[in-house]
Chains A and B, each alone.
Chain A
Amino acid sequence: MLNDHIHLSYEIVSEDFARAGEAASDVKRVLKKMNVKPDIVRKVAIALYEGEINMVIHSLGGTIDVYIMPNEIQMKLEDIGPGIEDIDKAMEEGYSTASETIRNMGFGAGMGLPNMKRYVDDLDIKSGLGQGTRITMRVIL
């Protein structure tokens, strides 16, 4: 990683709905303060928010690392499981394993991963059942 980058790091706790979204919110604040273009800030915020919410809902917890570099923003989301069995299926619009309780909170449309793909320039997902999920997203500045 380059020397002139900013690194932000967040711990994501499973099922901590009260704090879900705070990482994305903080990154948004930082980017705004750095005068990054509003449409870029919004793309990053939305993609990160979707990823963060997924970690809260579907994973056992993990970390988010954001690297702000001169030419791009990189987001690395890493959780400790239970993993995604079929990534292609998970990427389909409308596919969701969210429970009724989660749906009543306004999540579970099965649009999170498709939205992430929509808003970033590069999305890479590494996962498998019984493993953690590692997602890398890049937004070019």
Chain B
Amino acid sequence: MTIQDIKDYLEAELVYGEEFLSREVHNACGCDMMSDVLAFVKDQSVLITGLCNPHVIRTAEMMDIICVVFVRGKTPTEEMIEMAKEREIALLTSNHRMFTACGILYQKGLGGGDLC
């Protein structure tokens, strides 16, 4: 699945990262607590979150996450977009709720990794 696919499946709007749309995503993590995200290490993953502040971008940076999807129509601030540009992280915003967004991607074949 690519970032473009995620954008299509979630009827999401691309906030930043046109040039990264063809990147492959292998795993997903849906979470609002940043340390829960930090417990999950996988390559080429996407973070789906209802939290919308600069710490989300920082967390994604530490994890080498390649794309962040903000649910419930949350829109990142200019500051967050600038941070994402520096770190080459694609940003999407979807009007779906967390559960639905995760469900759609799971149904399309995206996994969440092993049991804890």
Contact = CB atoms under 8 A, between A and B. Distances in A.
- Which of the four size classes fits the interface of chain A? 20 to 34
Given A20-B55, A46-B63, A107 B34 contact: yes
Contacts of A18: 54
A91 interface: no
Interface of B: 32-36, 38-39, 41, 51, 53-56, 58-59, 61-64
- The secondary-structure label for the interface of chain A is helix
Contacts, number: 66
A18 B35 CA distance: 18
Interface of A: 17-18, 20-21, 24-25, 28, 38, 42, 45-46, 49-50, 103, 105-112, 114-115, 118-119
B55 A115 contact: no
A50 B35 contact: yes
Mostly, the B contact residues are helix
B55 A25 contact: no
A45 B62 contact: yes
5 contacts: A18-B54, A28-B62, A42-B62, A46-B63, A108-B33
B38 A106 contact: no
Contacts of A107: 33-35, 55
A28 B64 CA distance: 11
Given A21-B55, A42-B41, A105-B55, A110 B61 contact: no
